[in-house]
Amino acid sequence: MPKVGMEPIRRQALISAAIEAIHARGSFEVTMSEIARQAGVSTALAHHYFGSKDQLIVATMRHLLDELNGEIVAALRTARTPRERITGIIRANFGSDQFRPATISAWLTFYVKAQSMGGARRVLSIYARRLRSNLRHALSQLTDKESAKRIAEGTAAMIDGLYLRHALLDSDPDREAAIRLTEDYIDAQLAAGTS
């Protein structure tokens, strides 16, 4: 008979194992058996909790998105100015839990999988809309509406591009360099709009 309260612990272990297994394999071609073994549970139990590998992958994406959203909300709560809000959003996107090799590999795999899996596409669509909306809201307090939209799109593309670049490098990602580069882009765009 299973212990009461073990399900959330095992579900989290499987989600963490999925991230690590995808990173180790370098692709989505990891099996549910490999993920279960990494989590220290049986394959049958993994199927019991998630049904299929695709459902586990979508749950993993949602988990990462929930973590990211929590970091963004915390950053926005402490920001006093629109520019601090933007910095908070950027720092959260390059947070130490998000911008680490295994999580970067997982996000890259999710982007690829979203092309053929509706659940993954929906999760990534939520992420993209939320990122652009948060950026546009803060930027609209610093510049006109059209410029805010354009800068938000460019910033979102830069964040995604930096994830892609670091997924393809053999070195550890430099989160502070990624933050500086993104901040520099925003500062240059805002300065160009005021000159």
Q: What digits encode the pLDDT tens for the residues 50-70?
A: 999 889 988 998 999 999 999
Average pLDDT, the chain: 90
User: In the chain, which ranges are continuous DSSP H helix?
Assistant: 6-25, 32-39, 43-50, 53-78, 82-93, 101-113, 118-139, 145-168, 175-194
For residue 68, give the amino acid letter. L
Q: What digits encode the pLDDT tens for the residues 38-47?
A: 999 999 999 9
Residue 170 φ/ψ, nearest 5 degrees:
-90, -10
Q: Write down the domain spans for the chain.
A: 58-194
Q: Is 19 in contact with 25 (CB distance < 8 Å)? A: no
The model's confidence at residue 168, banded by pLDDT at 50, 70 and 90, is confident
The model's confidence at residue 33, banded by pLDDT at 50, 70 and 90, is very high
Residue with tokens 């892609």: 164
Q: Is 184 in contact with 192 (CB distance < 8 Å)? A: no
- Topology (CATH level 3) of domain 58-194: Tetracycline Repressor; domain 2 (1.10.357)
Q: Flag whether pLDDT at 1 surpasses 60.
A: no
Lowest mean pLDDT among 13-22, 110-119, 134-143: 110-119
